């Protein structure tokens, strides 16, 4: 079973070929991210215009890399929600037209669930790797979403909680802007914080008792006020602020994910989304999970960020 996946939910135009819901034969992604950096966020009109230009060559390049022709594809999977409406429409219209012309089935895929499914993707030579055990708790942390799920299997996924305001990635990006680092802030803060380990600064964590919901706008505002108050002092250190912000945000993600395991009885955590690339989240969640007998899975870095391989994979999955 060979699936062509198409993903255009945000700034990226991505196509991938996945065999049997697992083996990634090819994946190609082009992003318009650089064009948005001057604005500190994605401009939807720029994103969708670029996607209209990129979609044909990106699909063609993925087929070429997999050494396949369109006729050899068994079905098509495409992101249908959530995302920027103009961007989603580019991928959806292209995929619908292609499926009709080729007379192949089309499956519309939820982008968030696909982020969790990214943990099951393999390279063709990696057949001996063990798949994550289900049921699991799913943590999706991206620029637009922060949600916890009870994943019984990929037909039965229940939302446990989500952010009430900023998504984790959005908080990273906004704090990146406050610190004058540029966009996207996540990877820049991750790097800078490595040089700022300290216990002098502590930013608050929103607890939201008896709930799996999150709130990150408070910590973002606390960083803003701290910077305004202290930025002209001699001891002011950007790496220290970045470190303290990251500690606050990551601690909340770790605590809520482990509490969700306690509540559902799952011994597995599946993490997905761009913030899953964060080095401190990766090490803290694995370490603290281990102490409670919980195995934590992160997708390889290339499949943490938005990509069509996770869309093609979930489209062809039998879990």
Residues contributing to the site for Zn ion (CB under 5 A): 142, 306
7 vs 150, beta carbon nearer ligand KG4: 7
Dist CA 1 CA 63 (whole Å): 15
The partner in contact with residue 277, picked from ligand KG4, Zn ion, none with C-beta cut-offs of 5 to 8 angstroms by kind, is: ligand KG4
Tell which one of 118, 253, 275, 314 touches ligand KG4 (CB under 6 A).
275
Question: Do 134 and 270 contact (CB within 8 A), yes or no?
Answer: no
Tell which one of 5, 21, 184, 289 touches ligand KG4 (CB under 6 A).
184
Question: Do 115 and 305 contact (CB within 8 A), yes or no?
Answer: no
Dist CA 280 CA 240 (whole Å): 15
From the list 94, 66, 65, 63, the residue with the least C-alpha distance to 78 is 94
CB of 144 to Zn ion, least distance (A): 7
Is there binding between residue 142 and ligand KG4 (CB under 6 A)? Answer: yes
Provide the b/e sequence for 71-108 (b: ≥16 CB within 10 Å).
Answer: eebebbbbbbeebbebbbebbbebbeebbeeeebebbb
| Selected range binding ligand KG4 among 14-22, 151-159, 275-283, 289-297, rule: CB under 6 A | 275-283
| Selected range binding ligand KG4 among 58-66, 138-146, 149-157, 291-299, rule: CB under 6 A | 138-146
CB of 89 to ligand KG4, least distance (A): 17
| Selected range binding ligand KG4 among 72-80, 120-128, 165-173, 254-262, rule: CB under 6 A | 165-173
144 vs 196, beta carbon nearer ligand KG4: 144
Place of tokens 């637009």: 144
Residues binding ligand KG4 (CB under 6 A): 10, 142-144, 169, 172-173, 184-187, 190, 273-275, 277-278, 305-306
């Amino acid at each position: 079973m060979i699936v062509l996946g198409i993903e255009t939910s945000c700034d990226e135009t991505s196509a991938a070929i996945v065999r049997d819901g697992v083996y990634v034969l090819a994946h190609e992604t082009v992003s318009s991210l650089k064009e948005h950096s001057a604005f500190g966020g994605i401009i939807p009109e720029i994103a969708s215009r670029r996607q209209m230009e990129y979609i044909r060559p990106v699909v063609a390049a993925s087929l070429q890399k997999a050494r396949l022709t369109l006729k050899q594809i068994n079905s098509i999977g495409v992101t249908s929600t959530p995302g920027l409406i103009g961007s989603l429409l580019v991928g959806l219209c292209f995929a619908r037209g292609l499926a009709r012309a080729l007379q192949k089935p089309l499956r519309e895929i939820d982008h968030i669930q696909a982020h969790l499914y990214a943990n099951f993707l393999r390279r063709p030579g990696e057949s001996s790797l063990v798949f994550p055990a289900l049921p699991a708790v799913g943590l999706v942390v991206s620029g637009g979403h922060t949600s916890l799920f009870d994943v019984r299997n990929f037909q039965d996924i229940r939302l446990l909680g989500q952010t009430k305001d900023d998504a984790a990635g959005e908080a990273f990006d906004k704090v990146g802007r406050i610190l004058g680092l540029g966009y996207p802030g996540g990877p820049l803060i991750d790097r800078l914080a490595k040089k700022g380990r300290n216990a002098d600064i502590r930013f608050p964590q929103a607890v939201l008792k008896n709930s799996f919901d999150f709130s990150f706008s408070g910590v973002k505002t606390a960083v803003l006020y701290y910077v305004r108050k202290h930025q002209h002092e001699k001891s002011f250190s950007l790496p220290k602020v970045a470190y303290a912000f990251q500690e606050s945000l990551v601690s909340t993600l770790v605590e809520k994910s482990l509490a969700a395991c306690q509540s559902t009885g799952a011994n597995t955590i599946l993490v997905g989304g761009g913030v899953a690339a964060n080095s401190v989240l990766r090490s803290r969640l694995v370490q603290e999970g281990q102490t409670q007998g919980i195995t934590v899975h992160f997708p390889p870095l290339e499949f943490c960020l938005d990509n069509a391989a996770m869309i093609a994979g979930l489209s062809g999955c039998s879990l």
